[in-house]
Amino acid sequence: GNSRSTLPSVHEIADLQNATHVGMALDLQNGTVTRRFQLPGCQVDVSSFAHRSIRHLMVVSIVGSQFTAGAECVVRPTTPAASSTLNRQHCHTEGGITACNVTASVPETARQSPTVVAIYGAALPPSITLSAAAPQRAIVSAFATSLEPGLSGQQATIEAAKARYNAAAQQSIADLSSSHALSWAR
């Protein structure tokens, strides 16, 4: 059916400017994918996961370590050249929030309605300053689809994604990471 969809990532980080890519790892114990970078002044791990117990939540964690004494580390993410994907998915950024309203344009049968997918999340900033005092930053996004019980139509789907994002944005990265890891372990 037309219920199959690829969700665009509003936080896809292809690389970090002025950084050396060290490696990538799939952490089966904690359910994350991590890419490690070396920058002047620090090492940075960019991890991502689809939260195991908070359905519809995607998290990117950016964590600095091995800081040169007293140094701040400025992380400048670069997005993939194919970021035009976001344009095709009807994404826009305003007021620090990126919102996407993806609609399957042609249902497979005349009896089906187009599937609406709404994504709502903090915009990926052009730079992030990390330090020993503030070594991490989390960027979350949430999604909803019109295939879910109780969600029909574009507006209800958008509002559900927004509410899920607002609830997740109130939690710390430590809480999000530990609740994900615990659920993953179960």
pLDDT at 88 over 70: no
Those residues with Cβ within 8 angstroms of residue 71's Cβ, 6 or more apart along the chain or in another chain: 41, 42, 131
- Residue 53: both structure tokens together: 């117990």
Angle subtended at Cα 133 by Cα 131 and Cα 134, rounded to the nearest 5 degrees: 65
What is the pLDDT of the chain when averaged over all its residues?
82
Distance, in Å, from the CA atom of 152 to the CA atom of 147, rounded to the nearest integer, reads: 7
Is the per-residue pLDDT at 3 higher than 80? no
Among 50-54, 81-85, 123-127, 173-177, which stretch is predicted with the lowest mean pLDDT?
A: 81-85
For the whole prediction, is pTM greater than 0.95? no
Cα dihedral 52/75/135/31 (nearest 10): 20
